[in-house]
Amino acid sequence: MKGIQDKASYCLGCATKPCSKGCPLENDIPGFIRKIKEEDYKTAYEILLETTVLQPICGRICPHMKQCRGRCVRGIKGEPVEIGELEAFVGDMAIENKWNIPITEEISNKKVAVIGGGPAGLTASAFLRKKGYRVTIYEKHDKLGGLLSHGIPDFRLPRDILNKTIQKILDLGIDVKYNCTLGKEISLQDLKKEYDAVLLTFGANVSTKMKIEGEELEGVYGGNELLENNNHPNYNGKIVAVNGGGNTAMDTCRTIKKMGAKKVYVIYRRAMEQMPAEQKEIDDAMSEGIEFLFQNNIVKIIGDKHVEKIECIRTELIQVEGESRLKPINIEGSNYEIPVDYVVMAVGSKPEENVLNKLDLKLNKWGYIDIDEENRTSDKKVFCAGDISGAKSTVAWAARSGRDAADHIDKFLK
């Protein structure tokens, strides 16, 4: 415990709580750390429980330097407080000691269907159940977790921790129907008849394409699909190019390297400091022997039927008026080729159009389900949260979206 106490004591307990403002869930960070200092670990857990049910998960995988830890006052002149490690410690203690999630309101007869068991759906289900509603999760896979189970590798998020965190949520008395895909085994119309409200949280996990020549060749994969379906080719002795700079790119390149690839490139058209991925994930990938090609862009994938090589071009970064982020511009005549066996696209994701088209709900201009400030769709009985609503693509932001939706459904049903 001494190491944890030392890390907790390092926190200044700022009254203004800049770290909490940097947290998408607005956790009371100084509050729970103060209780760690006092060795009152259960109260620390109860403080976190007011805003999150994913403490062991967010404590491990959140991009802390881009969120809570990046706002820490200690970071101005030194190292910021290890907020994630402290949160994970409390979450792990709650699992070990079987501290439950209490139901805070009288059980209601009103029923809510939650479609999708990822971070948004799990969080929404927990907060709805805490408020006394009868909740059923409909999950297309045979296990819950969404990207936590099917996207984030176990070397970043141990499966026993994930499973125990999910089980704690289910122990609230939440029902689950597995292998149920919206538009196949279940329909939105039938759910609306059976439930008082429906919450859509099934994510947007179709990999975005670059629309470049050769993208249709065998050996070109989407990073999201590789991680979700765990249906990888044989990488032994092969050369792989991963295109992208976010956490999906980091998870994909590290997974592929661990599966025996001879060489893995990460190709990113901007500079390292502009990568959306957490710096720790970048550092870990580099330490594992993955080669990063910054300010490079894939412009063509070359091969007969299968990938044989890629054509890249170097970029320069320029400031464009009205934009805060430097824009990459291809440098004419700087083209070169790299022999590769596989190419993985990890440049973003989008919703599954064939599912959305069956819902008869209004979409926004980006192709996501259109919602108002209360998470309500164009159908007054149907709400939406997480990636499918266009929420920011991190676990904490998805969880925040789910928690907000639970609050709005509560108001609607009351």
Among 96, 127, 142, the domain-final residue is: 96
Q: What is the pLDDT of residues 2-45, one digit of tens each?
A: 699 999 999 999 999 999 999 999 999 999 999 999 999 999 99
Q: Does any domain span residue 363? A: yes
Is the per-residue pLDDT at 257 higher than 90?
yes
Strand order in the sheet with 382-384: 175-177, 134-138, 111-115, 197-200, 382-384
Residue 105 lies in a domain: no
- List the CATH number of the domain containing 10: 1.10.1060.10
* Residue at 278 is within a domain: yes
Residue 104 counted as domain residue = no
166 and 296, same domain (yes or no): no
In a domain, 106, yes or no: no
Closest C-alpha among 237, 254, 224 to residue 346? 224
Contacts of 300 (CB under 8 A, 6+ apart): 212, 213, 214, 310, 311
Give the contacts of 71 (CB within 8 A, at least 6 positions apart): 18, 19, 21, 22
107: left (phi over 0), alpha (psi -120 to 50) or beta: beta
Last residue of a domain, one of 348, 364, 379: 348
**Are 328 and 362 part of one and the same domain?**
no
Same domain? For 187 and 284 the reply is no
| Statement to judge: residues 149 and 216 lie in one domain | no
Residue 61 lies in a domain: yes
Q: Say how far apart CA 250 and CA 254 lie, in whole Å.
A: 6
pLDDT at 393 over 90: no
- With cut-offs at 50, 70 and 90, classify the pLDDT of residue 141: very high
Choose one of 330, 348, 366: the last residue of a domain. 348
Do residue 308 and residue 398 come from a single domain?
A: no
Same structural domain, 245 and 130: no
pLDDT tens sequence across 278-317: 888 999 999 999 999 999 999 999 999 999 999 999 999 9
| 232 plus 326 within the same structural domain | yes
Q: Report the predicted TM-score, pTM, of the whole model to 2 decimal places.
A: 0.92
Which residue is it, tokens 């279940």? 186
Domain assignment of residue 362, given as a range? 111-204+351-413
Q: Within a domain: residue 102? A: no
Which range is most confident: 229-233, 255-259, 367-371? 255-259
pLDDT score of 1 more than 70: no
Domain count, the chain: 3
Dump pLDDT digits (tens) for 83-128: 999 999 999 999 999 999 999 888 899 999 999 999 999 999 999 9
User: Residue 133: pLDDT band by 50, 70, 90 thresholds?
Assistant: very high
| CATH number assigned to the domain comprising residue 190 | 3.50.50.60
28 vs 47: CA distance, rounded Å: 7
How many Cα atoms sit within 13 Å of 156 on the Cβ side? Answer: 27
Judgement on whether residues 215 and 288 belong to the same structural domain of the protein: yes
Domain co-membership, 278 together with 330 = yes
The rounded radius of gyration (Å) of the Cα atoms in the chain is: 22
Q: Is residue 337 domain-shared with residue 227, that is, in the same domain?
A: yes
